[in-house]
């Protein structure tokens, strides 16, 4: 079953792409009256505040008509930023050898939080595995167990290749 974020992504993707942007990721933090829908957009050369404002107006209008969120919510449209979250396996491949913080849904060896160097992501037995160097230890983390992965942004990062 698709999550609320996946349903919204499918709904707004054509609109966002028609505006010349790409959805980097969506966070749907459903908390009753304090629900937050955060949509990260990107484009070649990066996103600026005017891009976010334009996209926000269009997305907000579409969501008002389609009404996928029945309760009150706050919509935020943002650039992924230097310390961007990683949502899709392809995004991990773009930032090989960069520092990342990863939080797991379920503990691995008694730990849920890891920081290290992203060495790769490979598909093994129909499951994506994220390779992370943490100190002297090489870990393989199941992508489906990753609750949140974020680049550690000390300086502007350049992906190893482009999704565009």
List the CATH number of the domain containing 57.
3.30.300.70
Residues making up the chain, counted from first to last: 164
Mean pLDDT is lowest, of 70-79, 113-122, 132-141, 153-162, for 153-162
Q: What are phi and psi of 120, to 5 degrees?
A: 165, 175
Q: What is the CA radius of gyration of the chain?
A: 17
Question: Per-residue confidence at 159, pLDDT binned at 50, 70, 90?
Answer: low
Q: Name which of 146, 116, 150, 122 is nearest 40 in CA terms.
A: 150
**Residues 97, 69 share a domain:** no
In a domain, 162, yes or no: no
Residue pLDDT, tens place only, 121-140:
999 889 999 999 999 999 99
Per-residue pLDDT, averaged over 75-89, amounts to 95
Model pTM? 0.86
Question: Per-residue confidence at 155, pLDDT binned at 50, 70, 90?
Answer: low
Q: Look at residue 71 and give its three-state secondary structure.
A: coil
Q: In whole angstroms, what is the distance from residue 85 CA to residue 5 CA?
A: 15
In a domain, 158, yes or no: no
Residue pLDDT, tens place only, 15-66:
999 999 999 999 999 877 789 999 999 999 999 999 999 999 999 999 999 9
DSSP tally for the chain: helices H, then strands E: 3, 8
**Residues 124, 59 share a domain:** no
**Residues 98, 72 share a domain:** no
């Amino acid at each position: 079953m698709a999550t609320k974020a996946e349903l919204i992504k499918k709904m707004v993707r054509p609109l966002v792409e028609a505006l010349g942007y790409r959805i980097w990721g969506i966070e749907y933090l459903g908390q009753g009256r304090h629900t937050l829908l955060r949509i990260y957009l990107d484009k070649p050369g990066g996103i600026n505040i005017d891009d976010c404002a334009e996209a926000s107006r269009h997305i907000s209008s579409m969501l008002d008509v389609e009404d996928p969120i029945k309760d009150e919510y706050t919509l935020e449209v943002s650039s992924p930023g230097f310390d961007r979250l990683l949502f899709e396996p392809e995004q991990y491949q773009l930032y090989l050898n960069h520092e990342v913080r990863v939080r797991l849904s379920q503990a691995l060896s008694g730990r849920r939080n890891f920081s290290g160097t992203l060495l790769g992501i490979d598909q093994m037995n129909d499951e994506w595995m994220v390779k992370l160097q943490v100190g002297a230890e090489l870990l393989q983390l199941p992508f489906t167990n990753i609750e949140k992965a974020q680049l550690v942004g000390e300086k502007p990062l350049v992906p190893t290749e482009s999704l565009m």
